[in-house]
């Protein structure tokens, strides 16, 4: 089993969550923000069988789009009287940043029953 962790833009999160639901994948979304742009994005985690990873990547590709953003660079240290006109820098964000992690143990704990995979603890 694998945990697919996808950092996506907020605008794409709803579409991707819908596609995952339709594909019968369980998923969790966490509101996050990027360290560079400091803008809100969404981190989506879905635990799937190894064979399903390519299908999850297909859904991410179909639902997450690359967009261009402009950022103002940090102001340099200046002497009094100096004038600096910052010009915005163009960055490409997304479609998505995806990590695939091995799952050591997966368990859904419910009263009287277990549904899980992993070494016996």
Strands 2-9 and 40-48, sheet pairing: antiparallel
Specify the residue, 22 or 68, whose C-beta has the smaller distance to ligand 2BA: 68
CB contact set of 103 (below 8 Å; sequence gap of 6+): 1, 2, 3, 47, 117, 118
Q: Phi and psi for 24 in degrees, rounded to 5?
A: 70, 25
Ramachandran region, residue 112 (left: φ > 0; alpha: ψ -120 to 50; beta: rest): left
Residues 82-101 that bind ligand 2BA (CB under 6 A): 91-94, 97
* Helix/strand number for the chain, H first, E second: 2, 8
Q: Which of 30, 36, 50, 55 binds ligand 2BA (CB under 6 A)?
A: 36
The CB-of-35 to ligand 2BA minimum distance in angstroms stands at: 4
The CB-of-86 to ligand 2BA minimum distance in angstroms stands at: 16
Residue 30 interacting with ligand 2BA (CB under 6 A): no
Specify the residue, 7 or 48, whose C-beta has the smaller distance to ligand 2BA: 7
Residues interacting with ligand 2BA, by CB under 6 A? 7, 34-37, 41, 91-94, 97
């Amino acid at each position: 089993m694998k945990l697919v962790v996808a950092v996506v833009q907020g605008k794409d999160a709803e579409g991707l969550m819908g596609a995952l639901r339709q594909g019968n994948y369980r998923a969790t979304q966490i509101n996050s923000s990027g360290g560079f742009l400091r803008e809100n994005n969404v981190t989506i985690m879905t635990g799937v069988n190894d064979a399903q990873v390519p299908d999850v990547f297909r859904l991410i590709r179909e639902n997450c789009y690359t967009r261009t953003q402009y950022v103002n660079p940090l102001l340099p240290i200046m002497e009094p009287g100096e004038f600096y006109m910052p010009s915005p820098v163009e960055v490409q964000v997304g479609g998505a940043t995806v990590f695939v992690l091995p799952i050591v143990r997966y368990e859904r704990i419910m009263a009287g029953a277990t549904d899980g995979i992993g070494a016996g603890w």
